[in-house]
Each structure stands twice: as structure tokens, then as C-alpha cells.
Chains A and B, each alone.
Chain A
């Protein structure tokens, strides 16, 4: 979004200056989305959904500053690692990125679906139910491949449900309604004491969790390489894996630092690798990379061999700007962390109005469409009632994101399969397919095992207590 808005400005700039602007914006938007995810529980982009799970809980407990610091430090480490991969391993990784065909992307999306159930940790069934609602919402509109019309009852729905207004509505509106509902209390009754937190401690904490950090950064980089999926689900997959492997798994979701570190290091680690297919092969690996491609072309610079042979200065300026951008973003982030955490002290009444205004503005500005604002409001109001039944927004949004990926790749894959080897061999043979299927099966088996194991310990009273502690 930010990159697309800046493109027209770069027309008038020197190619190098223009690209520095785009590179820096590209690196910063993912990390910036964590600020609202932590403080307001509104993820700035799909990449930041996982950050809300622990980050916002930390902020509620008064550790907002700490959560922001952890998020920016791990973002920077993940981001720098991703860009270094881009610098040193592009030729090798580009071939690997191409290895993902429709069948593999389909299994990857299914892997994402298996995470849906266990995402918010309270109930697998409710998680899956929200996920299914999300998958259904994803079918609205003209479908991407065949152009069939589905559930279009009004013009605003013809383009389908855009993820950003949905994200804003599902996360922000239930909170706004809750804040208004609590409005009878005195304004200053709930003001939290914001704990100051030294930056050095945050850096030490991130480094202390080195194992989690390394694994998540690597996960993020690998997922970032896969064209078309990338940043949107890397954070969630990393968060999920972290929780499943951590000895302190029950702490996840209650404001555990490792949750923030895992999500943010992974989602920023996708930034560099998502450009791996773009620079040597001129294939954009993410929507933002596609916009960057436009920005390069407008200056007469063609990604591919031409870029590195004939414009090495421009290419390296661009890549280095992303590296420096990561570090500056971190410094700036740490500076504002102290100030931004004061957001938690704003009284509910004021906060609700501000969030509502931002939600409307944010939804409108994505495609300058009032239709998106209505969609945001409708989904948000619906989510408020769903939350009453214990459903949560994160799995719903994940369903909305994964639905089109799974569907489009299944349709494409089966069209290719029908013309060639047949559906069975196409989806179920080959090393990569089998590996993906094995991971999917393991993920399902683990969720079932956890559900059976923990059901014995968790009574209904515990669940209510936990919920009350959060609200």
C-alpha cells in the first residue's frame, strides 16, 4: 500500500533516489504494522495478525513498551537476515522459489488451514468454525480464474472482500463496541500504569531467545521465497511452530515475549526473500514486489540480467537501502516505543472514537471505496456477536487469506493434471508434494493430541477465568 502510494512520487526522482524511497518503505511497512497490532489489537497488515495474539496481551498488562521494543528488535534481526539472503544466495534460491507449482502451493495453503484450529488456543472446534466462515467469505465476488459470480448481491461485493478492510473491521469494531459498552465506568477508572522498559533489556531478551529467533527467521525466509504466499502467512506459521515446539507452550497467548519475537522476526524475514524471484527472473513474488517491478520499469530498469550487468549501481543502491532501512526502522521504532506505549493510557471513550475514525479512514483509503467501509462495518459488527460465542478474528482472517490461495491453486493444478498425468499423481507424487503432505499430517496429528491432552486439565471455569482476565 505505502509502496503503491509512493510510486508516482518516484517519477520525478533519479532512479537511485526513487528506489531508495521504495526500498525503505517496503522494509518499514511490515514492521510498522506491529505498532497498531500491539497497542490496538488491529494488525496493520495480514503479516501482523500473529503479533496481536501475544503483543496486545502484553500491552494490556502494561508492558506495551516492552512488546514494541521486542517487536522492532526482532523485526530488524529477521529483516537484516532476509536481505542478506537476498544478497548472497539469490541465484540458488531463485531456482528453489520456482520449484513451487500449483500442487505445492495448494498443500501449503492446506497446512495453513490446519493451523487455523489451534491458533487462539482455546478450542479447536471454535477455531475451525471461524476459519470456515473466513473461507466462505473468501468465495464472495467474481472468482479469480473462471470469472464465475458468487454471492454478489450488491456491487460493492463484486470485487470480493478485500483483506485490509476485513482485517480492520474484524479486529477493530468488536473492540470499539466493547469500549462503548463499558462506557458507564468513570473515564479514569481503567488507566494503566505504563511500565518503563530499558531498551538494553529488550535486546538481551531477544538474544536470549536465540533458538526461537533463528528458527523463526529461517521459517520466515523460506516462506517468503514462495511466490504468492509469502509475508501474509509467515508470521502465523512461525508463531504456531514456536508454540508447538516451546517448552512453555501454555504461556503463548497470555503475553509471552516469545510469541512477539517469533511472529515479528518471521514476517520481516520475508521482505528480502520475496524479491528473490523478482531481481534475477523479473517475476514478482508478492503483490508489493509487483508494485516495485512497476517502479523499476518506469525508470527503464528491467529486473533480470540487465539489472545487474548494466545498472549495478542502481541494483546495489536498492538492496543496500533495504538493509539500512531495516536498521533505521529499528532505531526509530525503539524511540517511538516509549511514546507509543502511552496509547494504553488513553481513556476508553476517547480511544473508541479515535479507533473508529481510523478504521473508517483506513478501509476507505485502500481502494478509495465507500463499499469497503460498509464491508468493514458489517464484518466488524458480525464479529462482535461471534466473539460472544467464543469465536475469534485471527482464524477467520486466516481463512479469508488462505481460501483463494488453496482454491486457485487447486483449480489450476487440476486443469494441468487433467491435461497431463491425472489428478492423483499430480497432487500426491514427487518429493516436494510428499514432504508438504507429511507436514500437514503432522500438524493435524499434533493438534488432535494437544486437544485430547489438555481437555482433561481445562475445565469450563478455567476458560471463563482466562477470558475475564483478558477483558
Chain B
């Protein structure tokens, strides 16, 4: 029996050490960046690419380790960053706007735009409206006309509720004054795209970067980009504005780095100065381009403005729900 107790004690002391590593006593020797989505997802692999030169002398001089805290559409990770992470300047987080702003407006989470300090933005991925390759629709106007004749009958997929695609769907309904049937998919953007290609739904909203591949392969047609300007990736897809819909860039999925509120100002200033130059590194840009991930570097001040603007638009859009 003594052996047993000793063995159990040994195992439980292992538990104790693990708990300690998770706690606050442990000051990390190098920066850690929390990604609130699983390893291998778009946010994760972009985060890994844009931070891969952090160890260079002209950047931070030390590599950034990526830690994934996935769950509940990012809510688990952002809750952790807002309430439990150390604001010591070593703990960074990746943000997805509109996701976390929309979730904080929806409620039930412990963060809002005021819980975090932005550092810099690395990417922007606008939403695009796609239909199957053999669809009868060739422009957004045709979609809207059909939907006006069949209120609530036009089914289209997107990556979930309170994400960029959902925002874009709300914008479209408002701007065109139609009722549509938005079907959130539980398998994210990939599942939403599958539903379009398989013909389960009549159309879909998806990330421009993810819609590009099936379009090249001849499986879908892209009808409109939900951004202020056309994108250089498929330059022939018109914006919604060009097609006469008053839709701005509120649904664009911005990705960047932030820190929890309370991080010392000198560290924020230093990171805000270095991180954008790190994103602009040539090897980062070429790898991002190869992966079809649109880059869009913004400084801390630009991001602060963007967050504030997003907070305002989304509060108004989501108020009707």
C-alpha cells in the first residue's frame, strides 16, 4: 500500500508542476502569442508566418512561441487573454476583427475592445459572395431580384454567427432591403464553401482567400467583394459598392497582434514600432503571398481607429437582432 501511495503522490506532484506552469509565478523567458483558433487554421498559420522573423536582430531579437487556445469561435482564447493572461509585455494575442468585437456586443464574454491594446495589423481578408459554377445567377443584382420575389427563400452559407460573413449578410439584407436565409455552418469557412459547391445552398459568403482556389478550379463564381476596393487577387470581381449596394468594409476580417490591457506603456510603444517592420520583412510577404493570404499592414494608431469604427458600425448592425 505504501508503494501505491508513493506512486499516486508522484503522479499528483506532476499535476502540481503543470498547474504552476499555467499560473502567474512563472515569468516566461520569451514572448508567447496566444492564437484563439486551432493549429493549422488560417489564423494560426498566418500568425506563425508573420512572427517567424521575430528572432532576427533587427526585430525583437527573440522568437515568439505560438500557443493555441481554441474553442467557442475564439471566445475561450480571448476570455483567457482578457482575464487570466499576464500583462507583462511577454504575452501577446492574435485578434480577428470583426469576430471578437461582434462577440463582445452579443454578450456572454468577458472582453470588449477596451480589454486589449492593439499593436499592429498584418492581414485583411474581405468577404466575397459566391455561387456554384452552374448557378443561374451572374451578378448580385440577379440574386437580389430573385430574393425580392421569394422573401426569405434564398439560402446562403457562411462561417457562423457573429463573424465577418454574418456581418456581411446583415449588411446585404439592409442595403438591398431584402430578406435572405443565412445558414451558419458549424465547420467554418471550409464547411460553408462545401455547402455551396455541393449545391446544398444557393450561394455563400466566404473569405476571398479561400474562394480564390475553388474559383480557379471552376467550382464557384464570385459575384461581389464586400470591401471598399477591388482586390488584386481576383481583380475582375467587382465590389458591392460598384454594383450599387451601400456596403463598406465593416465585414472585412482583419488579423493582427494585441496585448492585454495593463501592459506597460513603454513595451506597447516599442512593440508598436518594431512589429509592423517585422510584418514588412520580404520573406514574410513572399510566404504570405504564396499561401494566398492577403497582407495589410496597419500601425497601432490605424488599428485603434479601425477598432473604434468597427465597434460603432457593429453595434448599430447587431442592434436589430
A302 within 8 A of B: yes
Known: A147-B162, A183-B1, A305-B218. 18 other contacts (CB 8 A): A8-B48, A144-B160, A145-B161, A147-B72, A147-B161, A155-B79, A159-B70, A227-B187, A294-B42, A294-B45, A298-B290, A357-B11, A367-B70, A367-B71, A370-B19, A373-B18, A412-B184, A420-B153
Q: If A159-B76, A299-B290 touch, does A281 touch B216 (CB 8 Å cutoff)?
A: no
Chain B residues positioned under 8 Å from A373 (CB to CB): 15, 18
Tell me, rounded to whole Å, the shortest Cβ–Cβ distance linking B52 to chain A. 7
Residue in contact with B108 in the complex, picked from A149, A298, A303, CB distance below 8 Å: A149
Q: Of B2-10, B235-243, B250-258, which binds chain A?
A: B2-10
**Complex Cα spacing A65 to B201, Å:** 51
Q: Of B85-93, B190-198, B296-304, which binds chain A?
A: B190-198
**Complex Cα spacing A121 to B281, Å:** 61
Q: What are 14 A-B pairs with beta-carbon distances under 8 A? A: A3-B40, A147-B108, A155-B79, A281-B214, A283-B190, A291-B40, A297-B45, A297-B291, A297-B292, A302-B213, A306-B213, A361-B14, A370-B18, A412-B185
The reply to whether A4 and B39 form a contact with Cβ atoms under 8 Å apart is: yes
Contact size range, A: 35 or more
Within 8 A of A (CB), among B1-53: 1, 3-4, 7-8, 10-12, 14-15, 18-19, 22, 38-42, 44-45, 48-49, 52
| Number of residues from B at the complex interface, CB < 8 A | 71
The reply to whether B7 and A353 form a contact with Cβ atoms under 8 Å apart is: yes
Within 8 A of A (CB), among B177-222: 181, 183-187, 190-191, 193-195, 197-198, 200-201, 213-214, 216-219
**Interface bits A267-291 vs B (CB < 8 Å: 1, else 0):** 0000000000100111110010011
**Complex Cα spacing A417 to B94, Å:** 37
A368 within 8 A of B: yes
**Interface bits A144-163 vs B (CB < 8 Å: 1, else 0):** 11110100000100111010
Question: Which residue on chain A has the smallest CB distance to residue B9?
Answer: A353
Residues of A within 8 A of B (CB): 3-5, 7-8, 11, 98-102, 141-142, 144-147, 149, 155, 158-160, 162, 180, 183-184, 187, 227-228, 277, 280-284, 287, 290-295, 297-300, 302-306, 349-350, 352-353, 356-357, 360-361, 364, 367-370, 373, 404, 408, 412, 415-416, 418-420
Chain A residues positioned under 8 Å from B152 (CB to CB): 419
B249 within 8 A of A: no
The reply to whether B8 and A353 form a contact with Cβ atoms under 8 Å apart is: yes
7 smallest CB-CB distances across A and B, nearest first, come from: A159-B71, A300-B290, A291-B40, A353-B7, A419-B181, A142-B72, A4-B39
The reply to whether B38 and A4 form a contact with Cβ atoms under 8 Å apart is: yes
Residue in contact with B187 in the complex, picked from A3, A162, A228, A303, CB distance below 8 Å: A228
Chain B residues positioned under 8 Å from A290 (CB to CB): 40-41, 190
Which of A7, A349, A350: most chain B CB closer than 10 A?
A: A349
**Complex Cα spacing A133 to B297, Å:** 48
B287 within 8 A of A: yes
Tell me, rounded to whole Å, the shortest Cβ–Cβ distance linking A200 to chain B. 39
B60 within 8 A of A: no
The reply to whether B40 and A180 form a contact with Cβ atoms under 8 Å apart is: no
Chain B residues positioned under 8 Å from A155 (CB to CB): 76, 79-80, 83
